[in-house]
Structures are given as C-alpha cells and as structure tokens.
Structure 1
Amino acid sequence: MAAPGSTSGGAAEETLPAVVVIDDAGTVTGWSRTAEKLFGYRAAEVLDRSAAPVFLPPVAPGDRERWSGLLQARHRDGGALLVRVAGSRLRTPGPGVAWVLSMTPATAETPGRAADLLEPLISRSPVAMAIWDRDLRCVWLNAAAHELNGVFPHYAIGRSLREPIPGIDTDAAREAMSRVLCDGNPMIDREARWTAADGSAELTLSTSLFRLDGVDGQPLGVCSLALDISTSRTRDRLSLLREASIRIGSTLDVNQTAQELADLAVPLIADYVTVDLAESVLPDTPPLQRLAATEARIPVFRRAGVASVHDGIPESLWPRGQAVFVPPSSPFTEVLSSGRSHFEPLLDTSPGTWLDQDPARAEIIHGTGMHTLLIIPLAARGEILGVTVFVRNENPAAFTKDDLMLAEELVARAALSLDNARQYTRERTAALALQRNLLPRNLSGGDAVDVASIYLPSDVHEGVGGDWFDAIPLRDSRVALVVGDVTGHGINAAATMGRLRTAVRTLTYMGLPPDELLTHLDDLVLRLTEEDAGDDGFPLDAVGATCLYAIYDPGTRRCTMATAGHPPPALMDPSGAVSFPRPPSGTPIGVGLGSFGSLELELGEGSLIALYTDGLIETREADIEAGIDRLGAALAGAALPLESLCATVVETMVGDKGSEDDIALLVARTR
C-alpha cells in the first residue's frame, strides 16, 4: 500500500477498488490510497482503530470464507455513502483472523461496476432466473432457479431442452423458447404447471421469456424468469385481478360498472359489498342537497352497486339508485375527505362509537352479524368518486392486511373504469345537447310539402356525430330540403354541423341552384380549414362532410337536386313504388374540387322523398347498396303519417341491435 501523501498511481487509481483490512475485532489494520479517496479518511486517522465510525453497521463477516453485498458507510465530511463490498478471509500465522475488503461506490459508472452491483440482487432474487444459449442449453442460474432442479431437471448448467429427460415433458418449454429466439417477441406471464407423480404436490409457475441480443444485433440466447404462484392466495389474487380486467367496465355506464365491481367482490373478498358514488359522478340524478338532512345523518352518496351472499340483500338499508345517509363523524365521510382506506378487522359496535348516531345501521350490523369492515375510496385522476364498502358476516375470518391490499387493487381498477364511464357520459350528454339545439326545432315545408324527421344518436363511439337535416321554405313557395353528415363524432363534429347548417341556410336565401350552392359550400369549408391551420400549414382539425341538397318548386312540380358524396334520396311515387334517383356524383365537402352537377325530376302530387344519412343503411355485415335495397323495401307502399313513417322505417332498418353511426332521416310529401 502507498504511504499517506504519496502521489504515485495517477489516473489508474480512479478505476481501482478501495482496499481495507480489518481483524476479527473490527480493527482497521490496512487502508489503501483509494480508500482514502473514497471515504476521506487518511490512513493515520483509521489504522489500529475500530472501523465502526466508518461502516454502518460495523462489518461482521462471521465464519464465511467469502461474501459480498451492499454496505452503508460514512464519509469523513459526514455524508452517507453506499458501497458495494466483496470480502475474503485472510489467513495469518497467528490465531487471529483478518479480512480483506474490496469496496467500490454503488453509484459508480465505471464499466463492469453495474454488473457487480446487480449480481447479489439477481442471485438472491425470489424470481428464478436462467440463461439459455442458442442451443437452448442452460448456461447460468441464480439461486432460486437452482431450487427448481428437483421439479424441472432441465434447470441445470449444461443441460439442453433439446435433450429428452425421462418422465419430463419439455416440448412446450422448448417450443416457446425457440419461438422467442426466432422472432424476438417476448412471452409474458405464461403459466406452467407440475404435479408430482403421486399427486402429493403441485407447482404453478408464472414464466416469462425474452431474447438476449449481442452488440451486433444477433441473438445470443434466451433469459427465462419464473415466479412460483402455487399458493392459493397468490393464485386467487391474480385470478381475481385478471377477472376484474375483463368484467369491470364492460360498458360505459356508471351504474353498470359499479354493480360489476360489487358482483365480482362477492364472495371472493367479502360477504356484502356496496358501491356508493358521490353526486358529481351521477350528473343525471336529482341533487342530494335537496334531500332532508339532520344533525345526525346527511345524504352523501347514491347507491350504485350492491351485492351479498344472502338472498334479498338483508344487509342493505338502501337499494340501488337511492340516496345513502351517513353520520358526519362516520368512517364513510372520513374516507371520502381523506382519500385513505378505513381498515377495521374487528368492527367496534360498543357504545360511544359513531354508530350511536346511526341506530338503523347499528341494528342491521347486529342483526346480520357483521364483524369486520373495509371502506376503500374510489379514487381516479386525483378525485374521489365515492367509496366501496366490504363486510363479512357469513365468513368468520376477519379482514387482514392482505385482504386490504387486494381490495384496494380491485377498487383502483374499477375506479378508472368508473371515471372513464363518467367522462363518456358527460361528453355524450353535452354533445347530444349541442346537437339537438343546433338541429331545427320547428321543421316546416311551407306551402310546398309536409315534412317530418327523426334523429337517432349512435350507440358507439362518442355517441353523437355531425348528422343534420333541414327544410327551408322560401318566399316564392319553393322549399329547400337538405341532409348532411360531418365526419367524426363528439362535440367538435356537432359544432361543425351547426356551422355548415348555418352556411347552407345563408346560401339558400341567396337563391343559388343546388350545384352552385354545394360549390360555394365546398369553397367556404376549404377557406375555414386553411384559416385554422397550425404553424406547419396543416389544418388542426380538418373538416369533411357529405351533403344532399334539393329544391322543390310546387308550381312546376320540379325537384332539382345535387349531391356531395352523399347516398341518393329515396323517391316513392303515389302508387307506392320506390326508386333511388342518382344525381351526378360529387366529391365530399371540404375537398376543394367543387365538381357538382344537378338532376331534375318531376314529382307527382302525393309523392314522397326521403333524405337520410348513411347510418340508416350501412352496417358491418352489408354494404351501402344492400342497405339501399332494404330501405326501399321498408318504404314501399307505406301509407302512414309522416311521423309514424319515420319511426317505422328506423325500427325496420335498425331494430334492437342499435346503430354504429348517427341516423338522420327527413321525409317530405308533396301536396
């Protein structure tokens, strides 16, 4: 070792470990220059003194020949220092024992140091880790993997999965590793089961595989990770959470999602479960503030989900949809305000508790034998949506910390589904309100035609799109009939629809023929899109729409129409025969080509013309032409009042299955 004050070594010392020698009494007998630099103490300050002031806790190797791990040390300036230490017993002529300790900073970025730091973590990990070469031969194992050798003999250095092992089926493991080695796609959380020949033991492993590639990108082998999930608690926990990801949130309905949570938790976690939501989560319900409150009980929640192992749910004071009253000092309000779970393994029902203020709930608790309680907040994106209550009365076991953790995980997953459903409900309600306010309320065909209409939002996506219709009476007794469909769904599509409907009315009042009107509308939309472009010149929200526009003149009985990429109108003559006249095909609005043509027809007295959007005729199972044929059959010979005709046609075309897109239908009958 270099003497204190020596300047030898240079930059090479920066990569050397600090070397310290201590005897079996913990006295420092050796202190290298790199130790001086690492810990700040000069050799003269520590030699022949206890190592306790430097190492926390004191180094105590015991009887081991070699050992390694992490050690907390103290720098001379008082700062804490985490080091990676490897120790070896040093044989001496005398009866005493000495130890040579090689130490490096745990945070060092020197090549190779990271591997030294991770080695003890990996080797002592409870996850069985193994590395297999390209021949699927085991080349490395950690301690947990060594313990599996008795169950899976291929967990042994030098043994290949390609070598048959009597009584052991390695086909599935070999195929899975070969596939990962070939395509590089990892395999995550695959269960593998083993049962002893005499049936005395069973083992279930959750196995993951990923490929190891070299610096040249070529595969070197496969790393396998295996975790024992054989215990019933672990397997039940994973099974429940896996089931939750499938069953909870199957629809975007708040109440249905809450009930799915309650149904799943009974009886796997509790005998009785309620899901009570705050008023903000249920915007369509009457405000709780309007309900009568007392000093002892206030309305705080509405019951959205409830389940029990007992028929009739005798534990519940309130059915679904009803307001839930709680005492202000109860754990329910505490959980709601704090956002922390209430864990009460032994439910305290003695006098002097909050139950004194709630005799009705106290009577239920005593009458049904409730003895253990969990109240967990439904929290999502920083907001408390309500609480979920877990109770046992049939199961005599009290809730444990493990039960609490499982319930919290389950509720956390459900809370995200509830929040998604709430956001969807809010956005759909707002978009639908905007859509209905932008559509005409008092539709009139003037003196030219009788009109009726129907609008039906879709059952998917954001629920509301940009479908619109209009009937615009003109001063010369003519009437304009229009139907259109803006691309997209939601509030933006509804707002765009309102702009286009206003633009069409304005252009109609200018007396433009149908083809010129669509040309001007196309140019207007293109200009609006360009004005809304971002810094890169591309539109932030491109606008596109289809449109069918027709003008009917009762004086000449002539109907002139033009289309911008829209389905053709349905025309039923007085005899009941249905046809679909096809105006010259035009490009959708917003493309900017402006290539539109007109078609002129003569309509007899009592003729019916129907304008519609593609949601009425298009399905996943059939194309538009097949839908047009179905619409023709639904209209043929119908002699109903127009309002009834609209409802009948939609019922015939859509039925109970719902529509994947908005539906707008406008019918007009000439006088």
Structure 2
Amino acid sequence: MPQWLLPEGAGLAARQLVEGTMAPIVVLDAQLRHLYVNPAWVRASGVPATAFLGRTLGEVLPDLHSPDDVLFEVLADGQPREATISGTTEVASPLGQRLWRAVYHRMELPEGGVCLCGIGVEISSLRRYLDDLETAHRRLALLDAAAARVGTTLDIDTTCQELVDFLAPSLADLAAVGIVEEEFTGAPPPPPGFLRLRKVRGSAPPGWEWVLHQLGGPGPYIDVPRGVATRHCLDFGRPWLGNLASDELFQKVTVDPERARIFRAAGVHSLLITPLLTAGRPVGVVLLGRAGASQPFDDNDLVTLQALAGRAAVSIDSARRYSYEHTMALELQRALLSEPRAPHPAVEVAARYLPSGRSVLVGGDWYDSIPLPDSRTLLVMGDVMGHGFQAAVAMSQYRSLLRTIAASGAAVDKILDEFDRQVAHLGLDRLATCLLALVDPAAGTCTTASAGHLPPAAARPDGSVDVLWLPAGPPIGTGLGSHEALTLRLDRGTTLLLYTDGLVERRGADIDTSVQALETVRLPADRPLDDMLDTLLAHLANGAYEDDVAVLAARLRDGCE
C-alpha cells in the first residue's frame, strides 16, 4: 500500500489493519483509476489486484455499476459520501445480483493532487431479506384485499365468482373454480373411480369467455378420472404447476387433446392448480392460466394462491353448512374469533373472548399461539385501539402481519421492533398494545416482551396468582421500537395468563391497582385450563364488561418435551 496513505510511524500497523480487514478497501486517482485494492476486495470480486491497477471499475468489472457521479462530487468538494455498487462479479453468488454500500473520502497527496479512499460492506443478503419482506408485504396486502372481497356472503356461487374475479387479473389472465359434488340429486352418479366437479364460476378478459366455455365442455359437471393433474391436486391436497407447458403437459390437465388445442389457440402458456381445502378435506379446485406476454408463475404466486384458496375454502364450506339467514357481520365475527393455532404438543392453551356490553361484533382484542421450531410456542395477546367494525378489521390486519413476522424465528423483542416498524411504515392509523411470550418446554422458560401491554400473570400450583411485572416498551405503530425481553422460569404446574385491559380495568381505578387485584384471586390450578378461565372471569366479572375481554392461558403438559 502506498506509504503516503499511512500516518507517520504507523505504516506497518495500518497496512496490517487495511489488508487484514474483511471490508473491501480501494484507493482511486482523480480519474477513478485504481491505485490500490486490498485483499478483501480481491476475494469479493474474483479479480487479482494487478488487474485493477491503473484501470477503472467499469473497465475491470463491466457488470458492476460504478457510482462515478458520486465519486466526482467527493473529489470536487471533499465531502464524504455514501454510494451503492451493484451487479455481478467473477465470484458466483447464490443471490445473483450483489450489493455493496461504500463510503468515499477525498485524501490529499503529499506531492500534490488528490485521491479517493473507499471502504465498503456487502449488503446483498440484507437486500434479499428486504426484498423478501417487501414481497411478504405485498402478499399480505393482497390477502387483506381478498378478505374484504371474497366470501362476503354465504352463497356458494357468489363466493366462487368473487374468488375468480379477484384472481383474474390479480394473479392470472383467466381463472376457474370447480366444487367437489358429493350429492348427485337429479343426476346419475359419476362412473366408478371418477370424481365429480361442479363447474361454478370462471373469469377471463373480455373476448376470452369462449375459452372457459369450451374448456368446461357441455353440461354443469366434469367427471375427473385418476391420473389427471386436477384429480392429483384433490387426492393429495397439493398444488400443481405447469409453466411454459407442452401439449403433453396440457393433456395431463384436460385428458382431452381438443382442450389442449384450446389452450394453445388462446395463447395460454402456464397453468397453476390448487385444491380448496378445509380441515384437510377438498371442497373444490382453482385453476389459473397465464397467456401471451404474462410471465410464468413463480413461488410467490404459488404461496399467495394457496393462502387465498385456504380462505376461500372456508367460505365455500361455510356456505354448504350454514343457512342463508346468517348475516355477513356474523360470518366476520366467527372468522375473527377463530381459535388460535394449535401450539406445540408440549404446551396446552385455552382462551376466552367476551365482547363488551351487548355487542355482537368483535373489537380490537386478539390472541394467538404460533408453533415454532425446536418445540417452542409463541403466545400473543394484543389490543388495537378502538372498538367495533373498524377496530376488528385493523385487528385482523395486525394479527396476520405479526404471524408473518413471527415466522422468521427472531427473538420476541426483535419481533415487536419489526412489528412496530412495519405498522408505522404501512401507515396503519391505529395504535395497538401487544404482549409476546415465547414458551420453551425444553428449557422450562418463558421469554416475554411487551409493547405497552399489561404484564402477564402466573397461576402457581397452589392456586395463588403472581403478576409478572416486566419492562413495557412503546405501543405498536409509534415507530419508536426499543422493546426489551425478559426470560422467566416456567415450572410445570404453573399456568401463564395473558389478558387485555378489559379484564381488570375499572372506571375510576388506577390501572396498576387493578392489575394487582389479580393477586387476590385463587384459581383451581389442578383443573383443566377452561375451568381456570371460568373461575377467573367469574371472580372479576361485574355485570357487562366496559371493554372487550380476551384471556389466554398456557401451561406445560406433564410428560411432554
């Protein structure tokens, strides 16, 4: 390295520092030609140091974007600046495009003139993470939109039409839905080994209606034999993807060569089929097609369609099981008051939700249990500001967003930080409190973090209740972050209680005093969790609740690891 770059008396130490660091370092002359590159940049670029000397970045690595305009500004005014370098190098990367963030400083040469020193760090993985996060955001927004547009009634035909109208053009050029027919009233049953699908609804661009009509064939039903892609989806509950399909592949979908020719005539090049499943049982199937200049389907499309199909399947199944007199409001309430996910087998949970007063609509309270790897279960208790329909819609968005973030496996405080950041970034205009408790049966611990929520409580084996005071960070939606985690011992026989303020809050009473009132309750610790919750609610109930009440109880099962 040129000696004029080193402080006097520190040449060897500086050389060791520069050449031993993992951060790429370069020195450029006033024409942006390389005077020096350190070993870290040689390893990252896959180009020997001698190939850089006297040449610009674009001459050495033409597939890397050089921020020349920024560098000339630094040379002109001497103010350090950050710049981004992106593209591909001679070193293959599983991430494809690589990305570095670098800081450039102007340095005066002893013999006159100036040069630039750049120090960078690769952020390719972070960029990929942010891209994946953005994809998840878009998927969540799509699912939220679908929740409002699909399943608005308990009429099966209406629900299927809403589904295909949403899917085309959101995810495809054409979409069709078939429902598994189990009753054959008024028609002969299908041949042995065949499964009957009732053609319900389809959606296609104007002028393409003939494609759906001819693909479906005459009559209201399609009897599907084994060996067909559609039947495979229904039998095994897994989607089927055929991108840039050949005629042979199309025939696996239709069995009829004539229908394969219809696909070709319409310019359809890719198909995606997924079953409509509820409780592991198929109720129907969705077929999507892309044509012309549309891109083939990718993994994100597959995941999104499966999520949409899951929601649609619930609506379709509900339409089969319930009468038309159920209103949309009651259906929304039933969906939002669904039980939390099943925890890990080593953890048992029970929950209660009580709306305030005589309300028939769920408010902003929610709870959840999310099974995670390594036998862990994440317990969630949250409360969105407000009450009624708008708070319920916001609660559903927040719960879905938190589930997506929790799947990353991050620590509970980091989950709350990211949850807070995303809610603030998305512009969701309702603050929320949230309490997370990560139960680890193997370690016998519970790690908690709070975003402005009331502290959890622990019901001991002797029936006494202790409030577990912990640091309460800022609520969700402020964008402030800085939540703290606290790990507690969770002995077998101890029940963890998470709740919203409606359980303890009383008009005119200090909230801390109200929370401490929990410690006056004695619970039947040796009884089922449902009995414990009934006792808790009976002890604290005082007529109609002034606010919605949500309670979640969890404890370790005996003999499970």
TM tier relative to shorter chain: 0.3 to 0.5
Higher helix share: 2
TM-score normalised by structure 2 residue count: 0.39
TM-score normalised by structure 1 residue count: 0.33
The one of the two structures with greater contact order (alpha-carbon pairs below 8 A, sep at least 6) is 2
Pick the structure with greater CA Rg.
1
